């Protein structure tokens, strides 16, 4: 393990020292930045306040493109959600949020988002607590400084790795919030954490490095899960963009996003592990083929399993029609190199989205399938823009699962119908 840490640290140091000097005269590739921000969005143009979590996705809003009135960078939102669910508990939540993004000085960009959420007495989380309650949170707060070929982003942010939507071979830096509803966009449940991220470009080569002083784990609705305090995470990747082909290599030291019970202390803890990963994305006309591969050390999948190294493989395809109708599909398999208890079932995901009525109506679909435990789910979401400030959305979802075998931490509703009204100014 000392050899691994020494090798990984050398790679990061070499990248960080060489990259800035090689690309002094290069210009920032805005398309590359925007690619990260839009990678996980399956909703088309009707994005939510939770979209664009990846800070590099807004570099295009530099000082020369900033609005003349700085107040234009503010946006407020009120949202009320109601979900009636079978065998999983109802949801009744109201949220008021405020967001700001814009240039604050030459070369400096700021992004801030905070909310206050009220859980009604009929909400499943409120019932667990014994009554209605509210909570406030700063979801995102980061500053980005851009100069010549590099951008440095410091603060609370989300970092997305990988190419295959809906799979998590290498997309493991930012955890997920399972107390929130997942409809058709994974960005809605991503959890931001405090970190420093540096992106630099040399023509068709991008290098990226990050350091997080205190990592976070997945958020679970169960009250008895209290993981130990997070530890430092760091990593880097280098991406080569050729004509119709992107290749990425990455290395990182991370904390597991899924806590497990320590058999000595009987407390939930997250274990440290190392990641070596690779991704590719190949375009052929309207067809996009992509893949993620990862080697991870010390993985644990279950209370009785011993830590063992695993190999992850995810493959996916995306296809866009002439009317901008978009289809995607992916599969993800995890195999343990030592303890078979750490095998994970083959998971498959299918997505679709299309806009209608001059983009006033956005339709999207997300479906997931698992071999063992046997599980299938499908969610269809429709969002209609009533006025410039009011959007009405509704979703229906169905799940088929074996309740005896399925994890109690992530039990979806067998049937659920959701309605949401959103006002955004």
| Joined tokens for residue 43 | 């909703």
* CATH, residue 90: 2.40.160.10
Q: Which position has the higher pLDDT, 230 or 5?
A: 230
pLDDT(342) > 80: no
What pLDDT does residue 309 have?
94
- Side-chain-side CA neighbours of 193 within 13 Å: the count stands at 28
CA–CA dist 425, 96 (Å, integer): 12
- 302: confidence class by pLDDT, cuts 50, 70, 90: low
pTM for the predicted model, two decimal places: 0.81
Q: What percent of the chain has pLDDT over 90?
A: 60
Q: What percent of the chain has pLDDT over 70?
A: 76
**Could you give phi then psi for residue 389, rounded to 5 degrees?**
-120, -10
pLDDT(216) > 50: yes
- Helix, strand, or coil here: 278? strand
- If you compute the radius of gyration of the chain from its CA atoms, what whole number of angstroms results? 21
pLDDT(406) > 70: no
- Average pLDDT, stretch 182-191? 92
What pLDDT does residue 27 have?
34
Tell me which residue range forms the domain holding 316: 2-424
pLDDT, tens digit, for every residue of 267-283?
777 889 999 999 999 99
pLDDT(4) > 90: no
CA–CA dist 109, 146 (Å, integer): 8
Q: Is 309 exposed, middle or buried (0-12, 13-18, 19+ CB in 10 A)?
A: middle
What pLDDT does residue 7 have?
43
Which residue blocks in 124-186 are alpha helix, DSSP H? 124-129
Which residue blocks in 151-214 are alpha helix, DSSP H? none
Find the range with the poorest average confidence among 3-17, 61-75, 155-169, 307-321: 3-17
CB contact at 8 A, 175 and 216? yes
Structural domain total, the chain: 1
- Helix, strand, or coil here: 341? helix
Query: Residues, the chain, total?
Result: 425
End-to-end CA, the chain: 52
Mean pLDDT of the residues in the chain = 82
pLDDT, tens digit, for every residue of 30-54?
333 333 333 333 333 333 333 334 4
What pLDDT does residue 408 have?
44
- 250: confidence class by pLDDT, cuts 50, 70, 90: very high
């Amino acid at each position: 393990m000392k050899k691994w840490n020494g090798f990984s640290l050398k790679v990061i140091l070499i990248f960080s020292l060489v990259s800035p000097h090689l690309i002094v005269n290069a210009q920032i590739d805005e398309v590359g930045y925007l690619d990260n921000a839009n990678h996980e969005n399956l909703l088309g143009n009707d994005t939510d306040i939770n979209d664009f979590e990846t800070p590099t996705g807004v570099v295009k809003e530099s000082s020369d493109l900033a609005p003349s009135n700085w107040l234009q960078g503010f946006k407020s939102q009120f949202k009320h959600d109601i979900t009636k669910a079978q065998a999983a508990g109802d949801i009744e939540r109201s949220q008021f949020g405020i967001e700001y993004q814009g240039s604050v000085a030459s070369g400096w960009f700021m992004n801030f988002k905070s909310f206050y959420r009220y859980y009604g007495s009929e909400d499943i989380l409120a019932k667990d607590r014994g009554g209605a309650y509210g909570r406030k949170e700063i979801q995102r707060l980061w500053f980005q400084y851009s100069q010549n070929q590099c951008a440095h982003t410091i603060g609370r942010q989300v970092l997305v790795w990988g190419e295959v939507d809906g799979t998590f071979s290498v997309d493991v830096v930012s955890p997920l919030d399972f107390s929130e509803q997942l409809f058709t966009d994974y960005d809605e449940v991503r959890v931001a954490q405090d970190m420093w991220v540096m992106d630099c470009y040399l023509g068709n080569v991008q290098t990226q490095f990050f350091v997080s002083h205190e990592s976070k784990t997945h958020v679970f609705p169960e009250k008895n899960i209290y993981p130990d305090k997070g530890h430092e995470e760091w990593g880097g990747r280098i991406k080569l963009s050729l004509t119709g082909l992107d290749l990425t290599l990455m290395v990182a030291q991370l904390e597991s996003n899924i806590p497990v019970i320590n058999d000595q202390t009987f407390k939930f803890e997250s274990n440290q592990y190392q990641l070596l990963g690779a991704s590719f994305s190949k375009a052929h006309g309207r067809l996009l083929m992509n893949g993620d591969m990862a080697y991870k050390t010390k993985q644990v999948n279950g209370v009785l399993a011993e830590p063992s190294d695993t190999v992850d493989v995810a493959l996916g395809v995306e296809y866009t029609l002439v009317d901008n109708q978009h289809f995607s599909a992916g599969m993800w398999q995890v195999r343990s190199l030592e303890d078979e208890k750490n095998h994970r079932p083959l998971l498959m995901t299918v997505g679709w989205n299309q806009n209608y009525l001059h983009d006033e109506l956005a339709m999207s679909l997300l479906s997931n399938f698992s071999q063992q435990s046997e599980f299938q789910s499908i969610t269809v979401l429709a969002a209609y823009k009533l006025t410039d400030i009011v959007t009405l959305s509704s979703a229906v979802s169905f799940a088929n699962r074996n309740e005896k075998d399925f994890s109690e931490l992530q039990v979806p509703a067998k049937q659920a119908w959701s309605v949401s009204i959103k006002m955004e100014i």
